[in-house]
Amino acid sequence: MLAAADRIRDQHGWDLEPDLLAMFHLPNSAYPDLVHSDLPVDWGVWQDLSAGGPDVRPAVALHHLADAFASPAMRSWLRDWLRQDGRRCIGFAMVFEAWLGAVPPGYRHGDLAQASASDRVEARVVAAVDIDGRLHRAIRVRGAQVPTVTTWAVPPPRIRDTRIATGLTRLMRLARAL
């Protein structure tokens, strides 16, 4: 599913806003587990409009969305949306672009954006948590033909404890509880 999400995103090019995806099992579909659907999230969640529109880090926006979906006012809406047409949510994914490179001691968010071009590469990341708690990641470096896909049944702490992984886990737990 991650490769399919990456392939679809690749058709739209680069320099796009992040996307939050819900992945579903559709019992009456010819491709029951290859379906993903964009959550109806307003594009403004990725920008801090009160501060003149700078981008909000994907992990921060993801946790804001998890907080909103967990609120009593949104829980019934989310339950109905997740179960629409008999579908069953089997995972949540986030697609975003990032700089990749060696992380030096004392690293702070944004340091790679300031690093020299030889010390970093631009990549599209699709991170997902499935209904069984596995963490999946597809990374496509700009210019690459295919992404590198990794799956962890038990992710190492440096991966499991990232804000993206914890946010996706929160959403999956919420979906299972509804």
| pLDDT per position as a tens digit, 17-39 | 888 888 888 877 766 665 566 66
Give the per-residue pLDDT at 143.
Answer: 92
Residue 160 has pLDDT above 80, yes or no: yes
Q: Who wins on pLDDT, 5 or 51? A: 5
Q: What is the pLDDT of residue 30?
A: 66
Q: Is 164 or 7 the better-scoring residue by pLDDT? A: 164
Residue 140 pairs with which residues in a beta bridge? 124
Nearest to 99 by CA among 41, 159, 14, 6: 14
Going from the C-alpha of 130 to that of each of 93, 153, 171, the distances in angstroms are 9, 10, 10
- Give the per-residue pLDDT at 133: 93
46: pLDDT strictly greater than 60: no
The residues, ordered by sequence, that sit 6+ positions from 172 with a Cβ below 8 Å of its Cβ are: 89, 91, 92, 129, 130, 131, 133
Average pLDDT score over the chain: 82
The number of CA neighbours under 13 Å toward the Cβ of 127 is 23
Domain extents in the chain: 2-39+52-105+117-177
Most confident of 49-53, 65-69, 139-143: 139-143
pLDDT tens per residue across span 75-114: 998 999 888 888 889 999 999 988 887 777 777 666 667 7
| pLDDT computed for residue 150 by the predictor | 93
- Is the pTM higher than 0.85? no
